[in-house]
Amino acid sequence: MKRVTLELGGKSPNILLDDADLNKAIPTALGIAFLNSGQACVAGTRLLVPKKRLDEVKRALVDTMPAFPVGDPADPKTAVGPMVSQKQYERVQSYIRKGIKEGAELLVGGEGRPEGLEAGFFVKPTVFVNVNNDMTIAREEIFGPVLSVITYENDEDAIRIANDTEYGLHAFVSGTDVQRARRVASQLQAGRVAINGMLDDQQAPFGGFKHSGLGREFGTYGIEAFLEPRAILE
């Protein structure tokens, strides 16, 4: 008999509430999406935005992209480095092609290597808009710097879309009214929900709901995974 702890993948939602300050929320959203060059299980790769603010969000995303340069990982200014291998490069390319084929609209990035970076396994940091939550790029973990922007009607709709996934490792909520952000966070099916940023606490449990895994790591939760209770009765 085995006891098993598994931390698997994610397709984490980042709900941008309609009171979010885009000057903060968009750099945060791109930072979460492109974390570790997108090769992060916790990456927030579905950005859920209120339909009425989509145009503003698109402009803010395009304007913020220069803050996430792709290039030599040794350069402290570089935000997105190469993919780990040729195979991972190809995997990311195949998802970008699927996104285009399934009708998502490229806002920035796209197929192929960025200019001047032909030698390594570099991909173009990519943002898709007009993504439907049923598209492959919204359902499967890409493990590369590819962000899908999905619109919603109201908070309930955002929560429904956020939870409409096989995964449940992480979720993010961005907004100005913290009480409201907490209300939304408490309805998300994810092992961790971070409000206004990519946050960490090494005592907080880390692991996933649904297909994102079994059990938890970190803190007392992580230690308990390696322990078995024994009762001695007299």
Partner 1 sequence: MNAMTSKVAIKTITKHYIDGAFVECHGRELMDIINPTNGEVIAHVTLADEEDARRAIAAAKQLFPSFGRTTKEERSEILRNLHNAVSARIGDLMDVMVEEYGGVRQFAEPIVQSGADVFLAAEKALHELPLTRSWGKTTVTLEPVGVAGLISPWNANTFFLCMKLASAVAAGCTVVMKPSEMSALQTRVWLECVHAANSRRVFATSSRAAVMSSGPNSCAIPTWPRSPSRVRLPSASRSCATVPRR
Q: Which residues make up the interface to partner 1 (CB under 8 A)?
A: 1-9, 35-37, 39-41, 72-76, 78-88, 91, 119-121, 143, 200, 202-203, 215, 217-220, 222-234
Alpha-carbon dihedral 115, 37, 128, 213, rounded to 10 degrees:
150
Distance CA 86, CA 167 (A): 26
Contact 173, 152 (CB under 8 A): no
Least Å distance, CB 232 to partner 1, is 5
Least Å distance, CB 184 to partner 1, is 27
What is the distance, to the nearest Å, from the Cα of residue 129 to the centroid of all Cα atoms in its chain?
15
Q: Is 41 a catalytic residue?
A: yes
Q: Which amino acid, residue 154?
A: N
Distance CA 176, CA 179 (A): 9
Least Å distance, CB 134 to partner 1, is 22
Enumerate the active-site residues.
Answer: 7, 41
